[in-house]
Amino acid sequence: MSIPGPDDILREVLPNGIVVLARENHDSPSVVVSGYLAVGSYDETDEQAGLAAFTASALPRGTTRRTFDEIYEEVESVGASFGISAGVHHTGFGAKSLAEDLPLILDVLSDVLRHPTFPPQEVEKLRGEILTDLEEREHDTRRMAALTFRELAYPEGHPYGRSLIGYPETISAIRRDDLVAFYEHGFGPRGMVIAVVGAVEPDRAVEQVEAAFGDWEGSMFSREPLPPVSRPTTIRQKFVPIPGKTQSDIVLGVPGPARTDPAFLDAVVCNTILGVFGMMGRLGEKVRDEQGLAYYSYSRVEGGHGPGPWTVIAGVNPSNLERALESIRAEIRRICQEPVPEPELADSQAFLVGSLPLRLETNEGVARAILEMEQYDLGLDYLQRYADLIREITPERVLATAQRWLDPDAYVLAIAGPPEEAGSGRQEAG
């Protein structure tokens, strides 16, 4: 197996604008289809939070050719699966099947993406499922900490600052007509990308995609630029009390670098040192391991088309909350003040480079990597250049990226957990 690159990834642009990427792999008789459309929660308003996600979930609920039951009977009968879900900038779709069933799976995907009918009864059924899930979320410390972080970290009206799946009020208020209007405005072939990876010849894959999507017509709509996001200058925090829980979840961080930022990989290396390498980097070592304060403690840098979050995430006993936060702050301070020692940097670089074959072992992994190259315009030779890009990062660059984004005294902090011990005296954000 070689690292996927321009030599073995076929890239074709169909006349209607759809970009098709295909790579062959006959090690297993299966195939993965993965891609996205240029519509997402970006294109909804705060008042209709969750509209893009609701629409995406409603697509497979019935089409002009198939009922909901027929869609899933057909797909599941051959052991295949598929899903559609909204993101901020895109609506993603994915499917997996035996290679022999690729035409069927593309036909179903095309049907649900192009000919949804939003049957009223199915829309109501789905609404009930979403509302039940939102009720569960209100009592889930991890999900509430993550949501609260987003709401605090981004200004009002910013698509990154609201819940992707919405809120009980917004989901209850969305009408079927809103779904239809959102679909008609946003769904089309322009900006669509689809990757096919697995036991199918690339030319055949492109042909089959063209057969399913080639005659889809539509034009691109325009978007306002993202509202500006400022770096926190103080500590902005909020505590969400959830009675009856035994553990508190913490999300601490900032709006971070976009995937397209020239220094994004510097941030990836910095984050690997901080909260990934080995048993979750310096955070894992100090917060979890030396002090036994948490069951988990790590960090992640999300990237994306805009300033996605760069966060530290931890689950702690409420009585250890202050000590854990102090310990997390100390690690942020250290990475912002001291250049990372060369051997420690070399370790994280070796990890990022060495783990590439593992990340590319499955068809899903390859499809993910190919889509990332396409989505962020990294070039199809990106994976082949990746090792050099990582290895040329210096301690100075890591320090500069830490100082640019992180600050132990200025960040957004969201905590969700039991009220008694942890809530007392904790200041609420205004």
Please identify which residue in 78, 181, 211, 220 interacts with another protein, judged by CB under 8 A.
78
- Contact segment (CB under 8 A) with another protein among 67-75, 181-189, 227-235, 252-260 equals 67-75
| CB contact set of 124 (below 8 Å; sequence gap of 6+) | none
Please identify which residue in 6, 15, 47, 81 interacts with another protein, judged by CB under 8 A.
81
Number of residues that bind another protein (CB under 8 A): 70
- Contact segment (CB under 8 A) with another protein among 11-19, 42-50, 263-271, 310-318 equals 310-318
Please tell me whether residue 178 binds another protein under the rule CB under 8 A. no
Please identify which residue in 8, 10, 12, 72 interacts with another protein, judged by CB under 8 A.
72
Residue number with CB closer to another protein (55 or 317) = 317
* 3-class SS letters over 223-291: CCCCCCCCCCCCEEEEEEECCCCCCEEEEEEEECCCCCCCCHHHHHHHHHHHHCHHHHHHHHHHHHHHC
Please tell me whether residue 363 binds another protein under the rule CB under 8 A. yes
Residues between 220 and 259 with contacts to another protein, criterion CB under 8 A? 242-247
Buried b (16+ CB within 10 A) or exposed e, 387-407: bebbeebeeebbbebbebbbb
Please tell me whether residue 342 binds another protein under the rule CB under 8 A. no
Please tell me whether residue 8 binds another protein under the rule CB under 8 A. no
C-alpha 410/C-alpha 333 separation (Å) is 11
Q: Which has the closest alpha carbon to 73: 43, 34, 104?
A: 104
Please tell me whether residue 216 binds another protein under the rule CB under 8 A. no
Please tell me whether residue 140 binds another protein under the rule CB under 8 A. yes
Q: In what order do the strands lie in the sheet with 235-241?
A: 235-241, 411-417, 248-255, 309-316, 294-301
Q: Which has the closest alpha carbon to 216: 18, 59, 63, 33?
A: 18
Q: Are 256 and 405 in contact (CB under 8 A)?
A: yes
Please identify which residue in 288, 300, 329, 397 interacts with another protein, judged by CB under 8 A.
288
Residues contributing to the site for another protein (CB under 8 A) = 1, 27-30, 68-69, 72-73, 75-83, 96-98, 125, 128-129, 131-133, 135-136, 138-141, 242-247, 277-279, 285, 288-296, 315-317, 320, 347, 350-358, 360-363
